[in-house]
Amino acid sequence: MTDKLIIVESPAKANTIKKFLGGNTKVMASMGHIRDLPKSKLGIDVQNNFEPEYINIRGKGDLIKDLKKNAKNSKKVYLATDPDREGEAIAWHLSNILNPENKNITRVTFNEITKNAVQKAIKEPRDIDINLVDAQQARRVLDRIVGYKISPVLWKKVRRGLSAGRVQSIAVELIVDREEEIEKFIPQEYWNIYVKLLDEKSKKIFEAKFYGKDGKKQEIHNKEEADEILEAIKNAKYIVEDVKKGEKKRTPAPPFTTSTMQQEASRKIGFTLKKTMSIAQGLYEGVKIPEKGTIGLITYMRTDSTRISEEARAAAKAHIIETYGENYYENRYYKTNKDAQDAHEGIRPTYAELEPDKIKDSLTKDQYKLYKLIYNRFMASQMSSAIYDTMAVTIEANKYTFKANGQNLKFKGFMTLYVEGTDEKEEEEGMIPDLTVNQEVKKEKIEPKQSFTEPPPRYTEASLVKTLEEKGIGRPSTYSPTITTILERRYIEKEQKQLIPTELGKVVNKLLKENFANIMDVEFTANIESQFDNIAEGKENWKEMIKEFYGPFEENVERVEKQLEHVQMVEEVSDIPCDKCGRMMIYKYGKYGKFLACPGYPECKNTKPIIETIDVPCPKCGGTIQVRKSKSKRKYYICENNPKTCDYISWNKPNNKEHI
């Protein structure tokens, strides 16, 4: 008979926990979920109050027998799955399989896999939180209903194997809408005038930018307006009219949430969301460190809270003061977003003394990069503000105003360790000379610059996550699988970090928007997320919520199926004849994107790939350059005659200047 049986999700987590628990204790892994809805059918009894039909996951029969046997031979069973809704649901399924009536089966959670956290959790067992379980069931059931009811419509009208999902469809819609904005964008001309000025006292040159006339801001729309200003100030004296000196503080960013970690890992170290979450999982579950054994290096990585425990705060304080000095420490508390599930902390290192460089040899290159990012971000969040000296100068030239701003870093504070990344380009401002009012500065050079407004940028994984979070779509655990799914379904593709909709993605998005307005409505989807939160807090009944959703949704599906019953998808006809039967080939959408097919199917089964070309001849032989994609989806350029008579191939797009 075993004293304690601890059940977790993964073998890595099990191995880390084993050494923290003495005595007659056994630790086993469930290998994730052990029960789920069946794949072959809806698996929800809509006539019986939406009761889910859970079945044991195929291939887990022997594991379930083993878990049952060990549970029966244990005095106490602790379900130590992850501390979130998904983990609570796995614990509930385990309890139901092992024996829900067994009072010796209990639930424990810990936010970090350290000796103190695990031992403390074992001393404070609790019942399974059925509200959290119901919130996860509500999400699973509602998403199953949406997917299994809408996907067949796509199969009939586009092609088999497609899927629609509540969050994934909104993500595709955002990307398609952004692409349409870019395509419709009309650039607007504008001008800036920059002047290089010399302070003769210090012999320093600085730059001022045109602001306006008579102290009022003025925009320059074209060359004529720019030339008029240039003529008016051609022989003008540049007089300093105003000097404002000040001090500016820059505060650190809060500790990571799942979303901010994903965004920053994408910006700073080029990780995909999927890679970030996989590496973070390994850091959380345990890494072997000399003299400490296998330990969890970070707290739980699925969270939208920035709250930090008092113990962690005290450890950070001691480390910062010892390493940098007292003036580098500042006691900081961060407000958590009002929609956050504040069950556990923000993402932070579990041991303040384990600096990234001290344990670098124990980590893989990717683990080191992500751990360093998490460690430095957390420590910086508890450090003093950076302080800048600032100067803003107004300069007059024949009634025209120019402005110059400068700043000088006086105290680095948290920036000694970490500076938050951004999707926008930050302009660095250097310090300008110590000028005085009424002083004349000498014009060295004047530079008019023509520019054009630019369309909004395409989404990256980082900026899409940020937008989904801002709009209340999905939750920390959903961002990575959502983006992975729409990439795998080829609704979108990635080019140099940018997310671009495919033709298939546009077709599917159009069909869904025209026929399932609610599912594609951002506010409606965000409201559903709020309802899941209410269920988790015990404020709403999950089956009532599903019932309220299902009635109108089912009516909509039936209406759409009738409307589309006799509607054939309009085939896009190409100007390429079938080389087998002569019919004009049509465009179709397959697993790997758009291709040409003969409309005479099934008599004629001829298909052809679509070959993209560019209007620049091959630099080596003058042939046509084709655009192809590598296995990693990166574009490359190859001559149509390769490899027969020409060997031209390049990652870089050729231009006319290269042609010989």
Across the range 94-104, mean pLDDT stands at: 85
Q: Which residues contact 560 (CB under 8 A, 6 or more apart)?
A: 153, 515, 516
DSSP state of 385: P
Catalytic, 300? Answer yes
Is the model more confident about 602 or about 101? 602
Q: How confident is the model at residue 336 (pLDDT cuts 50, 70, 90)?
A: low
Of 369-373, 495-499, 564-568, 581-585, which has the strongest mean pLDDT? 369-373
Show the tokens assigned to 573.
Answer: 């006809």
Q: Tell me if residue 411 falls in helix, strand or coil.
A: strand
Q: Answer whether 372's CB lies under 8 Å from 418's CB.
A: no
Q: Rounded to whole angstroms, how far apart are CA atoms 174 and 168? A: 10
Nearest CA among 476, 512, 496 for reference residue 174? 512
pLDDT at 259: 94
The Cα-based distances of 220 to 354, 395, 597 in angstroms read 55, 18, 53
pLDDT over threshold 90, residue 337: no
pLDDT tens digits for 546-576? 999 999 999 999 999 888 876 665 567 888 8
Show the tokens assigned to 538.
Answer: 């015990």
Show the tokens assigned to 408.
Answer: 């000088």
Identify the bridge partners of residue 495 per DSSP, sorted by sequence position: 498
Show the tokens assigned to 226.
Answer: 């720019």
Across the range 38-66, mean pLDDT stands at: 94
Show the tokens assigned to 26.
Answer: 């056994």
Burial (CB count <10 Å: 0-12, 13-18, 19+), residue 249: exposed
pLDDT at 633: 67
Nearest CA among 333, 313, 627 for reference residue 493? 627
Show the tokens assigned to 324.
Answer: 């940098």
Q: Answer whether 344's CB lies under 8 Å from 403's CB.
A: no
The single residue listed with the structure tokens 């089912």 is: 554
Report residue 143: phi and psi, to 5°. -65, -35
Across the range 249-271, mean pLDDT stands at: 94
Report the percent of the chain where pLDDT is more than 70.
95
Burial (CB count <10 Å: 0-12, 13-18, 19+), residue 519: buried
pLDDT at 20: 87
DSSP state of 11: H
Across the range 156-172, mean pLDDT stands at: 85
Show the tokens assigned to 474.
Answer: 């999905």
pLDDT at 272: 93
pLDDT over threshold 70, residue 225: yes
pLDDT tens digits for 200-219? 999 999 999 999 998 899 99
- Angle, helices 258-269 vs 479-488, to 10°: value is 50
Is the model more confident about 612 or about 81? 81
Show the tokens assigned to 66.
Answer: 């083993």
Q: Rounded to whole angstroms, how far apart are CA atoms 356 and 52? A: 46
Nearest CA among 525, 516, 529, 601 for reference residue 560? 516
pLDDT over threshold 90, residue 64: yes
pLDDT averaged over every residue in the chain: 90
List, edge to edge, every strand of the sheet that includes 649-650.
612-617, 624-629, 635-639, 649-650
Q: Which residues contact 222 (CB under 8 A, 6 or more apart)?
A: 189, 191
Is the model more confident about 424 or about 485? 485
- Round to the nearest angstrom and report the end-to-end CA distance of the chain: 83
pLDDT at 412: 94
The alpha-helical segments, DSSP class H, found in 328-441 are 365-381
Residue among 284, 300, 329, 637 flagged as catalytic: 300
Q: Answer whether 373's CB lies under 8 Å from 271's CB.
A: no
Report residue 398: phi and psi, to 5°. 55, 50
Q: How confident is the model at residue 588 (pLDDT cuts 50, 70, 90)?
A: confident
pLDDT tens digits for 353-409? 999 999 999 999 999 999 999 999 999 999 999 999 999 999 999 999 999 999 999
Show the tokens assigned to 528.
Answer: 């559903």
pLDDT at 660: 44
Strand 216-217 relative to strand 238-250, pairing:
unpaired
Chain CA centroid to CA 338, Å:
20
Q: Rounded to whole angstroms, how far apart are CA atoms 16 and 29? A: 12
Question: With helix as H, strand as E and coil as C, how does 508-568 read?
Answer: HHHHHHHHCCCCCCHHHHHHHHHHHHHHHCCCCCHHHHHHHHHHHHHHHHHHHHHHHCCCC
The Cα-based distances of 110 to 54, 122, 124, 125, 262 in angstroms read 27, 9, 10, 11, 22
pLDDT over threshold 50, residue 342: no
Q: Answer whether 210's CB lies under 8 Å from 446's CB.
A: no
Torsion sign over Cα 590, 591, 594, 597: negative
Is the model more confident about 632 or about 469? 469
Q: Answer whether 128's CB lies under 8 Å from 79's CB.
A: yes
Across the range 110-116, mean pLDDT stands at: 91
Q: Tell me if residue 447 falls in helix, strand or coil.
A: strand
